[in-house]
C-alpha cells in the first residue's frame, strides 16, 4: 500500500510538472494580457510536431530538437500575435476571445495534419532518458525525473525573470496598470509581444518534454485544451506558485482516479475541478480577477 502511494505520488508529480510547464505560459498571458487563449495547447502541439520531425526525419539530438521546436514554434506564432491576438488584449469580452482562439486552434489542427499527416507523432527519448533510475525503494523512469527537473528549472527561471530583471519590473508594472505603465514610457505592445513569445515558447517546450505523458496526436490541441485552462483557472492567472500548486493538485486528482478507478476516466478530475473552482473562485493563489 505504501509503495502504491509512493509510486502514485511520483507519477502525479511528474504529470503535474508536465502540466505546469505547458500551462504557466497560458497563465502569464492571462495575467498580463487577459486573454483566454484556447489555442495554447495548439502551440504546444506545434512544438511536439516540430520536435518529432527534427528527431525522426532529421536525426537531431534530443536537446537540439527541443530547441528547434521552441524557436520554430515562436517564429510560427508571431504572425498570429501581430494579426489576431493584438486585437483582443485586455479589453474584449470572453466570448470574442473564445471564438477567435478556438478558430486559431481549429486552423492549426487542420494545417498541422495537412503538413505532417494524421498519425500519432513519436517523440523518441535519447538513451540517457529512456532507462530506469534506482531511487532507493523503486525504479523510476529517467524521463519522469527529467520532467520534474525541467519543471523546477522553469519555475526558478521564471521567478528570476519576473523578480530580478528589468523585463520583470516592466511586466509587473503593466499587469498592475497598463495605461499608467504606458504613460511612463513602457512600450506595452513590445512587452505584450515578448510575453506572447515567452508563453508560446514555454508551451512548445512543455509539449516536447511532456510528450511521453501527453502524447502528440492530431487532436492534442482540443483534448488537453481543457486541462491547461483548468490549471490556470484553479491556480489563479499570472501566479507561478498558484500554477505549480494547481498542477500538482490536478495531477494528483487525475492520477489517483486513474490508479484506483480507471473505468471512470476523467470523472474525478472534473469533479475536483468544479469543487476547487467553487471553493476558490479566484484561484488557489490568484489575485482578484476581472
Partner 1 sequence: MSLAPARFGMAFSIPLGSELAALVAVGLLGALGYVVFPDDLAFLTRLISITLLVLSLDLVTGYCGVATLGQAALFGVAAYAAGNACIAGLTNPFLLLLVGMLAGVIAGILSGLLIARFRGLQQLVLSIAFGQLVAALANKLTAWTGGSDGLSGITPAPVFGVFDFDLYGHAAYWLSVGALAVIMAALAAFVRSPFSLTCEAIRDDDLRARMIGLAVYPRLVAMYAVSGAVAGVGGALSAITTGVVGLDSVSFERSAEALVMLVLGGAGHLWGALVGAILFQVFEHYVATSNPYNWLVLVGLMLMAIVIFAPGGLMRGVDLARRRRARRRG
265 DSSP 8-state letter = T
Site for partner 1 in 234-263 (CB under 8 A): 237, 263
Residues 164-203 that bind partner 1 (CB under 8 A): none
Length of the chain: 290
Name 20's Cβ contacts closer than 8 Å, sequence gap at least 6. Answer: 151, 154, 155, 206, 231, 243, 244, 247, 248
Identify which of residues 5 and 271 has a Cβ nearer to partner 1 in the complex. Answer: 271
Residue 80 φ/ψ, nearest 5 degrees: -60, -40
The rounded Cα 61 to chain-centroid distance in angstroms is 23
Q: Which residue has the cell 482578484?
A: 288
Choose between 151 and 238: whose C-beta lies nearer to partner 1.
238
217 binds partner 1, rule: CB under 8 A:
no
In which region does residue 235 sit, left (phi positive, over 0), alpha (psi from -120 to 50) or beta (all else)? alpha
Contact call for residues 252 and 272 (beta carbons, < 8 A): no
Binding test (CB under 8 A) with partner 1, winner from 12, 74, 108, 214: 108
Among 113, 172, 213, 259, binds partner 1 (CB under 8 A): 113
Based on the shown chain and the rule CB under 8 A, indicate whether residue 274 belongs to the binding site for partner 1: yes
Please tell me whether residue 113 adopts helix, strand or coil conformation.
helix
Q: In terms of Cα–Cα distance, which of 167, 247, 159 is closest to 206?
A: 247
Query: Under the criterion CB under 8 A, does residue 84 sit at the interface with partner 1?
Result: yes
Angle between the N-to-C axes of helices 40-56 and 94-116, in degrees from 0 to 180, rounded to the nearest 10: 20
- The answer to whether 109 contacts partner 1 (rule: CB under 8 A) is yes
Kindly state the smallest distance separating residue 154's Cβ from partner 1, in Å: 22
- Does 222 bind partner 1 (CB under 8 A)? Our answer is yes
Q: Per rule CB under 8 A, is residue 28 in the interface with partner 1?
A: no
C-alpha cell at 78: 508571431
* By the rule CB under 8 A, 103 interacts with partner 1: yes
284 binds partner 1 per the rule CB under 8 A: no
Residues contributing to the site for partner 1 (CB under 8 A): 30, 36, 84, 87-88, 92-96, 98-100, 102-111, 113-114, 118, 218, 222, 226, 229-230, 232-233, 237, 263-267, 270-271, 273-274, 277-278, 281, 289-290
Amino acid at each position: 500500500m505504501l509503495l502504491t502511494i509512493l509510486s502514485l505520488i511520483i507519477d502525479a508529480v511528474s504529470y503535474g510538472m508536465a502540466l505546469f510547464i505547458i500551462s504557466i505560459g497560458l497563465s502569464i498571458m492571462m495575467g498580463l494580457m487577459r486573454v483566454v487563449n484556447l489555442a495554447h495547447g495548439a502551440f504546444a502541439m506545434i512544438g511536439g510536431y516540430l520536435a518529432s520531425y527534427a528527431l525522426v526525419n532529421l536525426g537531431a539530438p534530443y536537446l537540439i530538437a527541443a530547441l528547434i521546436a521552441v524557436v520554430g514554434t515562436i517564429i510560427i506564432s508571431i504572425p498570429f500575435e501581430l494579426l489576431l491576438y493584438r486585437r483582443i488584449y485586455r479589453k474584449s469580452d470572453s466570448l470574442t476571445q473564445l471564438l477567435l482562439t478556438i478558430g486559431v486552434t481549429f486552423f492549426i489542427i487542420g494545417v498541422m495534419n495537412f503538413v505532417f499527416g494524421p498519425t500519432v507523432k513519436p517523440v523518441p527519448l535519447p538513451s540517457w532518458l529512456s532507462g530506469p533510475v534506482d531511487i532507493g525503494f523503486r525504479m523510476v523512469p529517467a524521463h519522469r525525473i527529467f520532467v520534474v527537473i525541467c519543471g523546477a528549472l522553469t519555475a526558478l527561471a521564471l521567478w528570476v525573470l519576473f523578480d530580478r530583471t528589468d523585463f520583470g519590473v516592466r511586466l509587473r508594472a503593466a499587469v498592475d496598470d497598463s495605461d499608467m505603465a504606458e504613460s511612463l514610457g513602457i512600450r506595452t505592445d513590445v512587452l505584450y509581444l515578448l510575453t506572447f513569445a515567452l508563453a508560446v515558447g514555454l508551451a512548445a517546450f512543455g509539449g516536447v518534454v511532456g510528450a511521453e505523458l501527453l502524447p502528440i496526436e492530431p487532436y492534442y490541441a482540443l483534448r488537453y485544451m481543457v486541462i491547461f485552462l483548468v490549471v490556470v483557472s484553479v491556480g489563479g492567472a499570472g501566479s507561478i506558485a498558484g500554477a505549480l500548486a494547481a498542477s500538482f493538485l490536478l495531477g494528483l486528482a487525475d492520477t489517483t482516479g486513474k490508479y484506483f478507478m480507471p473505468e471512470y476516466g476523467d470523472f474525478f478530475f472534473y469533479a475536483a475541478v468544479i469543487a476547487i473552482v467553487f471553493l476558490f473562485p479566484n484561484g488557489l493563489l490568484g489575485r482578484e480577477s476581472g
